[in-house]
Chain A
Amino acid sequence: DAKTTQPNSMESNEEEPVHLPCNHSTISGTDYIHWYRQLPSQGPEYVIHGLTSNVNNRMASLAIAEDRKSSTLILHRATLRDAAVYYCILIGGGTSYGKLTFGQGTILTVHP
């Protein structure tokens, strides 16, 4: 699977928007871009995913660059509960079903 690069950590203030970047310059045409997060002492939680177009759901928005070599997870109004490790993961077809490769992720700190 193609590799992703994320900043080690980011900080935000409560109720402000947060933009979490992810670079994936070697992405292939069939790779989906997934975002998960993990709160302390909990299992990973699915946030959002997309292929080419920008995506919105109740949790966040995903902005995908036109060349698909980067993407940004957008939390529109950060809350203290959003403090977690965020993982950007590429999942391709073929034999990669369910085989998510979790990197170091971005540790998001939200200040009150």
Chain B
Amino acid sequence: NAGVMQNPRHLVRRRGQEARLRCSPMKGHSHVYWYRQLPEEGLKFMVYLQKENIIDESGMPKERFSAEFPKEGPSILRIQQVVRGDSAAYFCASSPRQENNYGYTFGSGTRLTVV
């Protein structure tokens, strides 16, 4: 039973390019959550998605960032026109349903470096 899979593990982009980060939730999980960890800082919630729906995007930057979780395939976090400040570790977690009596499983993350 594979855990939450994220790829790529490391991603290097030049300023102005696009970054696409993928997250495959655990089998049977239809809820995905994205977090960002800037260097030397704590993790910050970005967005919560259910299949084909954005439930809570209160932590997403207003520009250049978007997320989707299609009916088929992984969840995608997309960053357009990346800047140096986007360099961070991006983690996703998944759950089978909406509840807080549940221990969330996180992926190993994608480390984005913008040069």
Contact = CB atoms under 8 A, between A and B. Distances in A.
A55 B72 CA distance: 37
Given A43-B108, A46-B105, A97-B48, A102 B100 contact: no
A64 interface: no
B12 interface: no
Contacts of B35: 100, 102
B48 A44 contact: no
A51 interface: yes
Interface string A80-112: 000000000001110111111111110000000
B56 A43 contact: no
Contact of A98 (B43, B104, B107): B104
A33 B48 CA distance: 20
A43 B91 contact: yes
Nearest to A103: B42
Interface string A51-93: 1000000000000000000000000000000000000000111
Top 4 closest A-B pairs, CB basis? Answer: A46-B103, A43-B106, A98-B33, A91-B100
